[in-house]
């Protein structure tokens, strides 16, 4: 074979003659994108992505079909080429409908692949499920118990009847191995870099764990006697038994993270010292101070913060609260506080909330559980004074409210009814109206107007080089645990890049999303959601044992099989979305309509098709024809309305199809898939 | 004495069959058929040749045919009412016999030196034939204008015993009918050109790919082929040569894209009509993977003339860049629609005014669309451009296959661009991303603009998309589809801006942008408009000014049409 010399992107290449530019470039590790190219078939040239420039010629060339000649000077990555490719991708995506990722996963602040682990559980692969959850959440058993389940709010199964019990599946997977947990993932080889994480709560431990997996030497400093943060000292035992949490924090230690407890920055060590000793510092100190009641008498004895109350109980400190308790606030901390107070023996526990039940920020399930346990609720009331006697609280004066116009949050604002007040006799007032971080020791760090740490939203960077911050202590303040976990995981990516001398920031990748209504699921057979077994309310309100059971294996598998699998089964193998990310596409700028088809086209025992995802690269048609010698699929219609399907509207199973699966394998998107490959493996990959 | 009746498709459509039947039954001399002479707007045309003079009668109906019969019988008649001297241009090459000879008679073709070129070829070497074509400067008349000799040379040089000559008669541009007229009027010219090409490249098989919507052309071509075979011009060893060649006809199913040569080949092979990547070019690997030469009808029709008269004679006509003459099909808002064969180098204005008689109804010329949906528009101010491949390309239009659509002041250029793009969208094969989805998105944007939903940035988006579609499409259909939009943006940007910014269509073509109202001063209260309004949108009492309810108005324009007082304002 005659040898030719050519230049690609300034690089001199010697290659065999008679080859296309695409083949030669790929042989020299120069990536030219292409969606319709497959060496097994004749060149086709439909996708338009492999455009390149050849010096001396004004037009663009398709690299797949242009034969390289001696002396050619080729540029594969110029602005002009990139623009043409980007437009091609945007056009393809403007006619590509579906859901790259399922709504549950998109709603999860940690981006957990709920659909993936539901499938693994349904298939009985519990180890796979455990591993997959732990790609994003190091605490499946704990978070499965405490999470307010944003995933379930987004779950499309509710359009059929009820959302999936995603958190119960997570709890099941987390509990399945019990004390015999498989070992954590092996960390990458040591990088020689050291990182300090301040705060051993869910955010800090997550950051530490994922950073450790990258091969860094990570030490967590925690002020408390034991790691776990609010999961340990905020969430009561009856919701999250601490031996379960310990099992999961132990795995983090097993992964090689050093945890130094009883060390408080500002008291035992300074931030400056840590910065001197470590290459990176992640601040994840949480929000441990309760917000005061901001009314006369808030300083009286018998007025305590919700956080302090829960922490005291968790630390087994003697807490004396008396018989009549008022808990102020309507969030999850208020629910934890009132139910804990009840368990401590209080006769009457009353939650005082300034709006009504519908506006309460606490999770519906927890409100219901509290009601079952005999907690009273005083809605439309706000404390205006704590009335004391001998320096100790004995009653609160409540201003009675009514609901006015909706406020910024969209909820109707409570408005005082002039002159309408009540007196509520109490022994203890627990203030659970908010929490804020204690940032003593972090004076050098820039704060927000709310008194939290200012952390860049795309990099978690603070004003101090090499110091990052995540979780409740930052920006908008306290949030749910899984948010802190999500931030911790992402921050680990950023900090890893920083430690490796790189520079990355969080991007919001382009994803194809669709809107669905109940009509789309009208044909789905109704199957009720699994309900975990609860201990009787009267019994559970007397002790701190866990209130409910983990669902059984049989229940879990049945529940997992309810998943509608909204996310594309080919997301992790999809070339289209990979290029879309690389070219930062904005297909919406073209507007326009997309082709509508019956989807999925389920007319074959082993192959499932989705014409709405088809980009008409023709690979399936050509592979079937040119490689298998069968023409089970062909093009029908013309122009924009062209569709790939069997001739004469036959079902695929009624064609000559030999089920070789090559079409599915060659499809660059999720338009044709082998049913067996739908979610096993592919969806289980990690996409950090 | 002989009578001929123009029975091309245009003549038949105008009623030539009845005229022919009348004459045939009553005239005291032979009555023959001929093809379209080019002045389609004057059909049916009857010629009376008494051996010395040739007199033509136009727009002849059955009554007119009766008058001609009376005249021939020496009776009193009014035949003179139909008399008109036709000027179809002298020195026609491709159309030399059209409208003159009987296309169904090979003898009439032979009488016009037919098949002399083939005979001459056999006295030359194939190389000499190619050289003669090279000297002529003939370029492909189908649209791309590729030098004909180069294709022939490439096909000749390709290795292989089996080669094909293919004639592209898949004329698809809206408003183009040159090729149809040639096949209907002079099929032997095409056959003779194909034989010459086959001899030059060494092919033994020819195929004419003709659209099934041309039934008359298919019939006449079939008859001509049969006659040529009988005469021994086709088949084994014509004129005692050691060359053999025959031609078959394949009717295409009417896909515009099959005019693209690789799609045409796919269609011939029974595959879906989709263009493929070049190289390999058809001259290397064409029909059935064998070297194939593909030329358009008009190109082949020029060949016998060139062989007979020499390449130099052809090259002496035209400009430096473009030789010979070109046939144009004049349509649209033209006074005299039809075919015009003009020497290269004459101006677009000449074609429109000298051959076409200017704009119909005495209106102002606005623009001329050249090259059909692949072409571009030339505004009135640029119509002095010479007809020449290079000069036309410089305006953003193309020579194309010869469609010339004339637009007057009432044409909305945005709507016109939308019309052509709608055509290409429907005719895209669907293979390339840029063409399949890009043109669709451009069309949607244009529809939005014409519908009153134009947005800031639309012009820029159209321009960007258009440029990327041109750069990213595989075949000429996609590479040229945005041209009508891009050239109208170039020359009539103000119309786009009016549509987008002011929601106004000055040509009053984009209905959703129109607002009908009554001029209270002019309205006499006759109530005719109210009676003609299909939407019941016009109210008022008799003899007092009426008014139009904009909510109910369907913008049909009936009111403006029927108002005798010019009291309906359209904005």
Same domain, B118 and B199: yes
The predicted structure's pLDDT at residue B452: 94
Beta bridge partners of A196: A219, A281
Nearest residue of chain B to residue A94 (CA atoms): B437
Asked if A65 is an interface residue toward chain B (Cβ–Cβ < 8 A), one would say: yes
The CATH number of the domain where B145 resides is what? 3.40.50.11540
Asked if residue B194 is part of any domain, the answer here is yes
On whether both B47 and B78 belong to a single domain, the answer is yes
Q: Is B418 on the interface with A (CB under 8 A)?
A: no
Contacts of B9 (CB under 8 A, 6+ apart): B36, B177, B180, B184, B214, B216
Instruction: Tell me the Cα Rg of chain A.
Output: 30
Chain A hits for B441, Cβ within 8 Å: 91, 94, 590-592
pLDDT tens-digit series, residues B487-496: 999 999 999 9
The answer on pLDDT for B120 being more than 80 is yes
Report the alpha-carbon angle A563-A568-A569, nearest 5: 80
Could you tell me which chain B residue has the CA closest to the CA of A590?
B441
Q: Name the pairing type of β-strands A324-328 and A428-431.
A: parallel
B145 and B233 in a common domain:
yes
Confidence of residue A678 (pLDDT cuts 50, 70, 90): low
The three-class DSSP label of residue B208 is strand
Q: Is the pLDDT of residue B31 over 90?
A: yes
pLDDT at A677: 66
- Chain A: nearest CA to B456, how far in angstroms? 12
pLDDT value of position A17: 87
Nearest by CB to B433, which of A43, A47, A59? A47
Instruction: Give CATH for domain A593-684.
Output: 3.30.70.20
Are B383 and B354 within one domain?
Answer: yes
Do residues B420 and B551 both lie within one domain? no
Q: Which CATH number covers residue B470?
A: 1.20.1440.230
Question: Any chain A CB within 8 A of the CB of B428?
Answer: yes
Chain A with chain B: Cβ pairs closer than 8 A = 101
Given a cut of 60, is residue B285 above it in pLDDT?
yes
Q: Each residue of B435-458: b (16+ CB within 10 Å) or e?
A: bbbbbbbbbbbbebbbebebeeeb
Buried b or exposed e, range A659-672, using 16+ CB within 10 angstroms:
ebbbbbbbbbbbbb
Chain-chain contact of B471 with A45 (C-beta, under 8 angstroms): no
CATH of A3-77, one of 1.10.579.10, 3.10.450.50, 3.10.20.740, 3.40.50.261: 3.10.20.740
Same domain as B418, residue B392 = no
Last residue of a domain, one of B315, B340, B356: B315
- In this prediction, residue A442 carries a pLDDT of 97
Provide mean pLDDT across the span A384-400: 94
Which A positions 91-150 lie with beta carbon below 8 A of chain B? 91-92, 94-95
- Quote the CA–CA distance of A49 and A57 in Å, as a whole number: 18
Alpha-helix runs per DSSP H in A424-528: 481-499
pLDDT at A446: 97
| Residue B300 main-chain phi, psi, to 5 deg | -60, -40
Q: Which pLDDT band, with edges at 50, 70 and 90, does A685 fall under?
A: very low
CATH number, domain of B60, equals 3.40.30.10
Contact criterion met (CB below 8 Å) for A634 and A604: no
What pLDDT is recorded for position B254? 82
A44, A69, A86, A87: best to mutate for the B interface, most B CBs within 10 A: A87
Rounded to an integer, what distance in angstroms lies between the CA atom of residue A213 and that of residue A223?
Answer: 24
Query: Do the bridges between strand A324-328 and strand A348-352 make them parallel or antiparallel, or are there none, so unpaired?
Result: parallel
Give the total residue count for chain A. Answer: 688
Q: Is A642 on the interface with B (CB under 8 A)?
A: yes
Cis peptide before A600 (omega within 30 of 0): yes
Q: Show which of B408, B439, B466 is a domain's final residue.
A: B408
Higher pLDDT, A76 or A410: A76
Q: Exposed, middle or buried, B8 (CB in 10 Å: 0-12/13-18/19+)?
A: buried
Average the pLDDT over A557-578 and give the result. Answer: 94
Q: Counting runs of H as helices and runs of E as strands, what totals does chain B give?
A: 23, 18
Distance CA(B455)–CA(B439), nearest Å, equals 18
**Assigned CATH class of A103-183+522-560:** mainly alpha
CATH code for residues A290-433: 3.50.50.60
Are B303 and B354 in the same domain? no
- Cα→Cα distances B138→A526, B211, B300, Å: 74, 25, 10
Q: Which residues of B fall within a CB distance of 8 Å from A88?
A: 433-434, 468, 472
**Are B381 and B453 within one domain?**
no
Contact state of A91 with B438 under an 8 Å Cβ cutoff: yes
Q: What is the mean pLDDT of residues A570-598?
A: 91
Query: pLDDT grade, residue B25 (50/70/90)?
Result: confident
Of the residues B502, B527, B551, the one at which a domain ends? B502
Which tens digit of pLDDT belongs to each residue from A110-151?
A: 999 999 999 999 999 999 999 999 999 999 999 999 999 999
pLDDT of A565 strictly over 50: yes
Specify whether the CB–CB gap between A470 and A487 falls below 8 A. Answer: yes
Percent of chain B at pLDDT > 70 equals: 100
Q: Would you state the structure tokens that stand for residue A566, as one six-digit string?
A: 């909204």
Residue A194, sorted as left (phi over 0), alpha (psi -120 to 50) or beta, turns out to be beta
Residues near B65 by beta carbon (within 8 Å), at least 6 away in sequence: B18, B19, B22, B23, B46
Confidence check: pLDDT of B526 > 80:
yes
Q: Let me know: does B460 contact B416? Beta carbons within 8 Å.
A: no
CATH number of the domain within which B526 lies: 3.30.70.20
Determine, yes or no, domain membership for B509: no
**What residues 453-512 of chain B have any CB closer than 8 A to a CB of chain A?**
461, 464-465, 468, 471-474
Q: In the predicted model, is pLDDT for residue A686 greater than 60?
A: no
Q: Assess if residue B510 is contained within a domain.
A: no
**ipTM of this complex > 0.95?**
no
Contact B318, B17 (CB under 8 A): no
Write out the residue range of the structural domain in which residue B35 sits. Answer: 2-82
User: In this structure, are residues A286 and A474 in contact, taking their beta carbons and an 8 Å threshold?
Assistant: no
What ranges do the domains of chain A cover? Answer: 3-77, 103-183+522-560, 194-288+436-499, 290-433, 593-684
Question: Same domain, yes or no, for B389 and B428?
Answer: no
Contact at CB, B277 and A641, closer than 8 angstroms? no
B211 CB within 8 Å of a chain A CB: no
| B255 lies within 8 A of chain A by CB | yes
pLDDT-wise least confident of A2-6, A596-600, B436-440: A596-600
In a domain, B172, yes or no: yes
How is domain A194-288+436-499 classified at the architecture level of CATH?
Answer: 3-Layer(bba) Sandwich (3.50)
User: Residue A347: its pLDDT value, please?
Assistant: 94
- Two domains, one topology: A194-288+436-499 and A290-433: yes
Do the chains contact at A87 and B473, CB–CB below 8 Å?
no
Is the Cβ of A60 closer than 8 Å to some Cβ of chain B? yes
**Nearest C-alpha neighbor of A678 from the set A97, A115, A158:** A115
d(CA A285, CA A289): 11
- Disruptive mutation site among B285, B441, B455, B479 for chain A (greatest number of A CBs within 10 Å): B441
Contact by Cβ (8 Å): A451, A350 = no
Which residues, including other chains, have CB under 8 Å from residue A588's CB and lie 6 or more apart?
A94
Question: How many structural domains comprise chain B?
Answer: 5
pLDDT band with cut points at 50, 70 and 90 for residue A687: very low
Q: Could you please report the per-residue DSSP string of A210-239?
A: HHHHTT-EEEEEESSSSS-THHHHTS-TTT
Average pLDDT of chain A? 94
Residue B96 belongs to some domain of the structure: no
Q: How many Å lie between the alpha carbon of B421 and the closest alpha carbon of chain A?
A: 12
Q: How far is A506 from chain B (nearest CA, A)?
A: 29
Q: Are residues B69 and B175 in the same domain?
A: no
The two tokens of residue A544 are 């701190």
Average pLDDT score, chain B: 94
Q: Which residues of A touch B440 (CB under 8 A)?
A: 592, 639-640
Say yes or no: B158 and B203 in one domain. Answer: yes
Interfacial B residues in 268-297 facing A (CB < 8 Å)? 272, 274, 276-277, 279
pLDDT score, position A2: 84
Q: Which residues of B touch A637 (CB under 8 A)?
A: 430
Q: A590 and chain B: CB distance < 8 Å anywhere?
A: yes
Closest chain B residue by Cα to residue A66: B279
Domain identity same for B18 and B51: yes
Strand pairing report for B235-236 and B292-296:
unpaired
Element (DSSP H or E) covering residue B168 = strand B164-169
CB A628 within 8 A of CB A660: yes
pLDDT over threshold 50, residue A214: yes
Mean pLDDT confidence for A604-615: 94
The DSSP result for B243-263, as a single string, is -EEEEEEEEE---GGGGSHHH
What does the pLDDT look like over A83-99, one tens digit per residue? 999 999 999 999 999 99
């Amino acid at each position: 074979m005659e040898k030719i010399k050519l230049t690609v992107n300034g690089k001199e290449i010697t290659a065999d003659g008679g080859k296309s530019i695409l083949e030669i470039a790929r042989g020299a590790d120069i990536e030219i994108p292409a969606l319709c190219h497959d060496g097994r078939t004749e060149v086709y040239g439909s996708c338009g992505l492999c455009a390149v420039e050849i010096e001396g010629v004004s037009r663009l060339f398709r690299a797949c079909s242009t034969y390289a000649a001696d002396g050619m000077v080729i540029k594969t990555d110029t602005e002009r080429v990139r623009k043409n490719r980007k437009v091609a991708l945007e056009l393809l995506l403007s006619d590509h409908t579906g859901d790259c990722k399922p709504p549950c996963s998109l709603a999860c602040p940690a981006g957990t692949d709920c659909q993936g682990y539901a499938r693994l559980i349904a298939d009985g692969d519990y180890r796979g499920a455990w591993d997959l959850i732990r790609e994003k959440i190091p605490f499946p058993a704990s978070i499965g118990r405490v999470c307010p389940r944003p995933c379930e709010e987004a779950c499309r199964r509710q359009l059929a009847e009820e959302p999936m019990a995603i958190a119960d599946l997570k709890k099941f997977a987390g509990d399945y191995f019990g004390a015999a947990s498989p070992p954590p993932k092996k960390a990458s080889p040591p990088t020689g870099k050291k990182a300090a994480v301040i705060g051993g709560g869910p955010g800090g431990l997550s950051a530490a764990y994922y950073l450790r997996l990258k091969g860094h030497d990570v030490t967590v400093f925690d002020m408390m006697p034991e790691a776990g943060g609010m999961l340990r000292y905020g969430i009561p035992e009856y919701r999250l038994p601490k031996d379960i949490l310990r099992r999961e924090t132990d795995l983090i230690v097993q992964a090689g993270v050093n945890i130094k407890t009883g060390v408080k920055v500002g008291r035992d060590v300074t931030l400056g010292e840590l910065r001197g000793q470590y290459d990176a510092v992640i601040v994840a100190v949480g929000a441990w101070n309760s917000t005061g009641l901001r009314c006369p008498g808030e300083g009286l004895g018998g007025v305590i913060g919700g956080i302090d109350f829960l922490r005291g109980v968790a630390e087994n400190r003697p807490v004396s609260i008396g018989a009549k308790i008022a808990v102020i606030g309507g969030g999850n901390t208020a629910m934890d506080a009132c139910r804990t107070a009840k368990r401590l023996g209080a006769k009457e526990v009353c939650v005082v909330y300034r709006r009504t039940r519908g506006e309460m920020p606490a999770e519906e399930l927890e409100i219901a559980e509290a009601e079952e346990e005999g907690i009273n609720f005083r809605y439309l009331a706000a404390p205006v004074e704590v009335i004391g006697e001998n320096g100790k609280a004995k009653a609160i004066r409540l201003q009675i409210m009514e609901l006015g116009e909706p406020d910024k949050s969209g909820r109707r604002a409570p408005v005082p009814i002039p002159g309408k007040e009540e007196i509520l006799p109490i022994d203890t007032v627990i203030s659970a109206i908010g929490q804020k971080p204690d940032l003593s020791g972090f004076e050098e760090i820039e704060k927000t107007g709310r008194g939290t740490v200012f952390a860049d939203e795309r990099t978690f960077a603070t004003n101090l080089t090499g110091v990052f911050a995540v979780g409740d202590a930052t920006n908008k303040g306290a949030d749910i645990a899984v948010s802190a976990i999500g931030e911790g995981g992402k921050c680990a990516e950023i900090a890893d890049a920083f430690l490796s001398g790189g520079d990355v920031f969080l991007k919001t990748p382009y994803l194809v999303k669709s809107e669905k209504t109940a009509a789309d699921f009208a044909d789905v057979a109704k199957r009720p959601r699994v309900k975990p077994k609860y201990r009787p309310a009267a019994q559970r309100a007397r002790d701190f044992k866990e209130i409910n059971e983990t669902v059984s294996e049989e229940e879990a598998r049945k529940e997992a099989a309810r998943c509608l699998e909204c996310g594309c089964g080919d997301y992790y193998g999809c070339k289209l979305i990979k290029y879309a990310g690389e070219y930062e596409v904005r297909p919406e700028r073209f507007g326009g309509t997309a082709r509508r088809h019956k989807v999925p086209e389920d007319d074959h025992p082993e192959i499932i098709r989705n014409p709405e995802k088809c980009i008409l690269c023709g690979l399936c048609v050509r592979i079937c024809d040119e490689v298998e010698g069968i023409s089970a699929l062909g093009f029908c219609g013309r122009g924009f309305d062209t569709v790939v399907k069997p001739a004469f509207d036959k079902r695929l199973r009624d064609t000559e199809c030999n089920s070789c699966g090559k079409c599915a394998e060659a499809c660059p998107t999720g338009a044709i898939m082998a049913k067996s490959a739908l979610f096993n493996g592919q969806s289980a990959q990690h996409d950090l | 004495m002989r009578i001929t009746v123009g029975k091309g498709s245009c003549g038949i459509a105008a009623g030539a069959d009845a005229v022919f039947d009348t004459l045939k039954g009553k005239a005291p001399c032979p009555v023959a058929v001929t093809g379209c002479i080019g002045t389609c707007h004057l059909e049916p045309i009857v010629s009376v040749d008494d051996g010395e003079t040739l007199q033509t009668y136009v727009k002849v109906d059955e009554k007119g045919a009766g008058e001609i019969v009376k005249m021939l019988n020496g009776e009193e008649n009014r035949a003179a009412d139909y008399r008109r001297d036709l000027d179809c241009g002298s020195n026609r090459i491709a159309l030399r016999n059209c409208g003159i000879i009987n296309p169904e008679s090979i003898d009439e073709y032979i009488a016009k030196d037919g098949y002399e070129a083939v005979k001459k070829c056999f006295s030359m070497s194939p190389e000499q034939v190619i050289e003669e074509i090279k000297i002529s400067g003939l370029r492909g008349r189908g649209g791309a204008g590729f030098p004909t000799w180069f294709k022939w040379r490439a096909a000749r040089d390709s290795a292989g015993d089996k080669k094909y000559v293919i004639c592209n008669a898949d004329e698809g541009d809206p408003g183009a009918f040159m090729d149809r007229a040639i096949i209907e009027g002079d099929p032997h010219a095409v056959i003779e050109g194909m034989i010459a090409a086959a001899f030059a490249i060494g092919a033994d098989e020819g195929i004419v790919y003709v659209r099934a919507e041309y039934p008359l052309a298919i019939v006449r071509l079939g008859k001509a082929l049969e006659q040529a075979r009988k005469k021994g011009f086709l088949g084994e060893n014509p004129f005692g040569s050691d060359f053999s060649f025959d031609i078959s006809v394949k009717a295409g199913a009417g896909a515009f894209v099959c005019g693209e040569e690789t799609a045409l080949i796919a269609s011939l092979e029974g595959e879906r009509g989709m263009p493929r990547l070049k190289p390999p070019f058809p001259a290397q690997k064409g029909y059935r993977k064998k070297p194939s030469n593909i030329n358009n009808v008009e190109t082949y029709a020029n060949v016998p003339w060139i062989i007979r008269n020499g390449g130099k004679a052809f090259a002496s006509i035209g400009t430096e860049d473009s030789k010979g003459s070109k046939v144009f099909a004049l349509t649209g808002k033209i006074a005299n629609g039809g075919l015009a064969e003009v020497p290269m180098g004459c101006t677009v204005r000449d074609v429109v005014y000298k051959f076409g008689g200017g704009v119909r109804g005495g209106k102002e010329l606005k623009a001329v669309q050249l090259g059909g949906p692949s072409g571009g528009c030339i505004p009135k101010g640029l119509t002095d451009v010479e007809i020449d491949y290079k000069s036309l390309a410089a305006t953003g239009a193309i020579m194309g296959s010869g469609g010339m659509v004339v637009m007057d002041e009432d044409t909305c250029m945005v709507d016109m661009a939308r019309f052509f793009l709608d055509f290409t969208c429907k005719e895209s094969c669907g293979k390339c991303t840029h063409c399949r989805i890009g043109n669709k998105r451009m069309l949607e944007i244009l529809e939005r603009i014409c519908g009153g939903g134009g947005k800031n940035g639309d012009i820029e988006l159209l321009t960007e998309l258009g440029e990327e579609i041109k750069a990213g499409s595989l075949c000429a259909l996609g590479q040229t589809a945005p041209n009508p939009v891009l050239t109208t943006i170039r020359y009539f940007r103000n119309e786009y801006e009016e549509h987008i910014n002011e929601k106004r269509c000055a040509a009053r073509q984009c209905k959703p942008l129109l607002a009908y109202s009554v001029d209270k001063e002019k309205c006499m209260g006759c109530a005719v408009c109210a009676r003609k309004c299909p939407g019941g949108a016009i109210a008022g009492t008799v003899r007092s000014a009426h008014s139009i309810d904009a909510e109910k108005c369907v913008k049909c324009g009936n009111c403006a049409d029927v108002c005798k007082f010019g009291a309906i304002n359209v904005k």
